[in-house]
C-alpha cells in the first residue's frame, strides 16, 4: 500500500514517514501542496495524508477542488484546528480528520483503514491453495503456519495474490513495495523474491515469467 504524506513540519514529517514505513507502507513525502500535486500527477496512491495548513495555504481548498473533478483517493487531514466547525469543514471533503497531537499508532490504524476503503473490492483475506493473506491484520500463513514477512515482502506477495495465475510485471511489483524516497538497487526485487520463496517453502508457488516478471501458481 502506497501513501503520500504532505507535512511542512520536518520533525513530524520524518516521524510519520518512519512509522508508516515501519508498518509496511511504501511512503512518498511532500513539504507543500505544489510538491504533493506533482507527486499525485505521476503516482497512484492508496491514501493521502495532508496537513491542513501548509505554506501554500489551506489544503482543504485543494482537496475540494480535486473532489469536484472526480478525484476519489482517500484523504486524511492532519491538523491542529480542532473546533467542531473545522472538523465539519474538513470531513465535507476528506475521509478522516486527525487532530494534533496524535498517537502514531492511531494514525497508522486510520491510514490502513482508509487504504482498504479505497479498494472496496479487495477481500480482507486472500487465499491461494494453502496460502492465506490477512490484509486487515497484516499477517500471512501457509498451511496454517504464520510467516514472518517484512513489509516489502508482504506488499509484493499481496500484489501477486490479487491476480493469482496472471503474470505481474516487475515494474508493478516494484511500485507495490518501494517508493520514490528510497530508490531500490537493480537486483533488489530478485533478492526479495528469493527470500519470499524460501519463507513460503515447498512446493514453490512463485514462478518467473521470463521477460515479464513473476506469477503465483501451483
Q: How far apart are CA 111 and CA 23, in angstroms?
A: 11
Put simply, whether the predicted model's pTM sits higher than 0.75 gets the answer no
Work out the pLDDT band at 126, boundaries 50, 70, 90: confident
Work out the pLDDT band at 149, boundaries 50, 70, 90: confident
Q: Are 1 and 136 in contact (CB under 8 A)?
A: no
Write down the CATH number for the domain with range 2-117: 3.40.50.2300
| Mean pLDDT, the chain, whole residue set | 87
pLDDT tens figures, 10-65: 999 999 999 998 888 889 999 999 999 999 988 889 899 999 999 988 999 999 99
Smallest CA-to-CA distance from 35 within 63, 73, 74, 7 is with 7
| pLDDT exceeds cutoff 70 at 173 | yes
Work out the pLDDT band at 163, boundaries 50, 70, 90: confident
Q: How far apart are CA 89 and CA 93, in angstroms?
A: 7
Q: Where are the domains of the chain?
A: 2-117, 125-216
Whether domain 125-216 has CATH 3.90.1150.170: no
pLDDT at 34: 94
Q: How far apart are CA 148 and CA 151, in angstroms?
A: 10
- Going 37 to 39 to 44 to 46, the CA torsion angle's sign is negative
pLDDT at 10: 93
Q: How far apart are CA 166 and CA 160, in angstroms?
A: 8
Q: Are 159 and 173 in contact (CB under 8 A)?
A: yes
- Going 217 to 211 to 186 to 1, the CA torsion angle's sign is negative
3-state secondary structure of 68: helix
Work out the pLDDT band at 130, boundaries 50, 70, 90: very high
Residues 61-70, mean pLDDT to the nearest whole number: 91
Amino acid at each position: 500500500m502506497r501513501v503520500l504524506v504532505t507535512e511542512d513540519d520536518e520533525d513530524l514529517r520524518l516521524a510519520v514517514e518512519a512509522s508508516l514505513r515501519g508498518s509496511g507502507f511504501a511512503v512518498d513525502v511532500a513539504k507543500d501542496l505544489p510538491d504533493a500535486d506533482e507527486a499525485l500527477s505521476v503516482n497512484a496512491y492508496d491514501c493521502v495524508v495532508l496537513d491542513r495548513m501548509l505554506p501554500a495555504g489551506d489544503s482543504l481548498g485543494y482537496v475540494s477542488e480535486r473532489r469536484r473533478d472526480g478525484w476519489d483517493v482517500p484523504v486524511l487531514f492532519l491538523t491542529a484546528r480542532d473546533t467542531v466547525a473545522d472538523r465539519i469543514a474538513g470531513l465535507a471533503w476528506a475521509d478522516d480528520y486527525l487532530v494534533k497531537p496524535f498517537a502514531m499508532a492511531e494514525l497508522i490504524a486510520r491510514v490502513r483503514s482508509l487504504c482498504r476503503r479505497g479498494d472496496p473490492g479487495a477481500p480482507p483475506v486472500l487465499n491461494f491453495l494453502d496460502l492465506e493473506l490477512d490484509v486487515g491484520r497484516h499477517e500471512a500463513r501457509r498451511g496454517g503456519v504464520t510467516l514472518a514477512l517484512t513489509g516489502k515482502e508482504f506488499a509484493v506477495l499481496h500484489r501477486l495474490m490479487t491476480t493469482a495465475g496472471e503474470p505481474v510485471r516487475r515494474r508493478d511489483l516494484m511500485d507495490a513495495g518501494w517508493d520514490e524516497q528510497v530508490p531500490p538497487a537493480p537486483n533488489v526485487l530478485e533478492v526479495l523474491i528469493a527470500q519470499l520463496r524460501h519463507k513460503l517453502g515447498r512446493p514453490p508457488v512463485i514462478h518467473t515469467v521470463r521477460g515479464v516478471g513473476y506469477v503465483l501458481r501451483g
